Structure 1
Amino acid sequence: MAPAPSPPALETRDLTIRFGGHVAVDAVNCAFHPGTLTAIVGPNGAGKTTYFNLISGQLRPTDGQVLVRGEDVTGLTAAARTRRGLGRAFQLTNLFPGLTVRENIRLVVQSRRGAGMDLLSRAARRTDLVDEADAVLARMSLAGRRDDLAGALPHGDQRKLEVAMLAALEPDVFMFDEPTAGMSVDEVPTILDLIRRIKETTDKTVLLVEHKMDVVRQLADRIIVLHNGALVADGEPAEVIASPIVQEAYLGGAIEHA
């Protein structure tokens, strides 16, 4: 007898948001399981980032629910959802620009361990926090930048630092919103390698919004497709990419919901 599938780490039930008369996310039902990487694709304006914002708590839904390990977190703030294991990296960098690269990572480690957030406290001199921050920076090829101010980094390194901050948070669910946006061809492999390593950790769940289909093909176990806010396809990458519904979406043709 085959083992029962693991319960979802994250689930959305009839998740919907309306802005006036516009339905940006339309009753999306989807479950995400540990050990899988799901790519969320669709044309511009399909509702992908809005769906992420509803999951992570930046937006409150008009209808529906968000559940983390079976717990309804729909009414919780983004910070409370983070404490329950949701980690989110944004399209735009979300750093402490006046702090060094190492201090950005150390603050995340410090917060995760419940050591407080006082920059001038003894936590800044705790070697265990600093050592863990340095280990994260080494994995992200940022060790040589650790004493630079985050705000002075080139865009590609700022992107890497934000992903490093998410990795240092050690969430159960990793949410990446176009993590390679604005990066050069030479910079992209570092990000993809990190995401690949996270994916190989079987108790983690990864969601990835990405426009670059070569990245999706490399990483995804599953693809879901949003169009006009609705879920219109869900399945294995090769099958979904080849489907007429996806071809029409990316070519700008009309889609009829099945």
Structure 2
Amino acid sequence: METRGLTIRFGGHVAVNAVSCAFRAGELTCIVGPNGAGKTTYFNLISGQLPASAGQILLGGEDVTRLPVPEKTRRGIGRAFQLTSLFPNLTVFENVRLAVQARLHLGLDLFSVWSHHRKVREQAEACLERVALADKRHQPVAALPHGDQRKLEVGILLALQPRVFMFDEPTAGMSVDEVPVILDLIHEIKQDRSKTVLLVEHKMDVVRSLADRIIVLHNGTLMADGDPAEVIASPIVQQAYLGVAPPDGAGAGNAEASHG
């Protein structure tokens, strides 16, 4: 997947400024930067929640910039959305089952659903096992704690089997015990050399453990792109974007303390 000059303006404010970046299959790219840097907005442009003011999004060489969200999903761009995208009154299993049905183009035709019942059920159950929610399959989503809802988001994304996985702070709000489940899953996904993984993350220990590459956004502009160790160690990232004090002691404090 690639973005070329991707831009969005809100009035006179440029939230994402001509970002050009190619993402390769078999690679996990972490997108970092301070709050308000444009990371989630960039994700929203790629997945279709926001329309681009300028630029292109290419998937497999095809321009998908103006396609609506459902069509981008069908083409293989998968996004772990905000929790409001879950169906709170349905059970955990029903949420994942609907994602499997959508991928298999079964719609809501009851006869079609019945004829594929076993296949749909097996795939949905497998996704729940992978995110450690099988024992809560019959619970309504509204009754789940925040951490389990985040795991369900990932389960739904797995059910869609996209070509491009997009995770926006997937461990936010999770307890220390829950985090490894999601990190292990992301690590597993990135072992599939046919998949592209994008991860917005503030926790630098997570970035270091998963990233094959880091890009840095600041005020909507791409400021750095490269090997994780080199990008993290670069003075401009340390001082201006991760908040680490420069050698003379001036600065904004330690990044890992401020970002989690």
State the distance in 2 between where 1:110 and 1:24 align.
35
Instruction: State the alpha-carbon separation in 2 of the partners of residues 47 and 224 from structure 1.
Output: 12
Q: TM-score when scaled to structure 2?
A: 0.90
Any conservation in 1 of the 2:83–2:149 contact (CA below 8 Å)? no
Tell me, in whole angstroms, the C-alpha distance in 2 between the residues paired with 1:173 and 1:215: 20
SS, match of residue 85 in structure 2: coil
Q: CA RMSD in A?
A: 1.6
SS in 2 for 1:207: strand
Give the structure 2 partner of residue 185 of structure 1.
Answer: 176
**CA distance, structure 1, for counterparts of residue 92 and residue 102 of structure 2:** 16
State percent identity of aligned pairs: 68
Q: Counterpart in 1 of 2:6?
A: 15
4+ aligned runs moved over 4 Å, structure 1: none
Superposed displacement of residue 90, structure 1: 2.4
- In the alignment, structure 1 residue 94 sits paired with structure 2 residue 73: no
Please state how far the C-alpha of 1:117 moved relative to its aligned partner. 2.8
Out of 222, 236, 248, the position equivalent to 1:245 is 236
1:71 aligned onto 2:78: no
Normalising by structure 1, report the TM-score.
0.91
User: Any gaps of 5 or more consecutive residues in structure 1?
Assistant: 1-9
> Which amino acid in 2 is paired with 1:123?
V
Structure 2: distance between partners of 1:142 and 1:190: 11
Match of 2:163 among 161, 172, 175: 172
Task: Map 1:98-247 onto structure 2 (within 5 A).
Answer: 98-118=89-109, 123=113, 126-247=117-238
Counterpart CA distance in 2 for 1:90 and 1:110 is: 18
Amino acid at match of 1:164: G
Aligned residue pairs, count: 244
Letter paired with 2:164? V
Counterpart secondary structure, 1:223: strand
Please tell me whether the aligned partners of residues 91 and 178 of structure 1 are also in contact (alpha carbons under 8 angstroms): no
| Offset of residue 239 of structure 1 | 0.6
Tell me by how many angstroms 1:92 deviates.
3.7
Which runs of 5 or more residues in structure 2 are unaligned? 245-250, 253-260
Aligned equivalent of 2:26:
35
- Whether the 8 Å CA contact 2:106–2:112 is kept in 1: the answer is no
Write the distance in 2 (CA, Å) between the matches of 1:92 and 1:50: 17
User: Residue 47 of structure 1: which of 15, 38, 42 is its match?
Assistant: 38
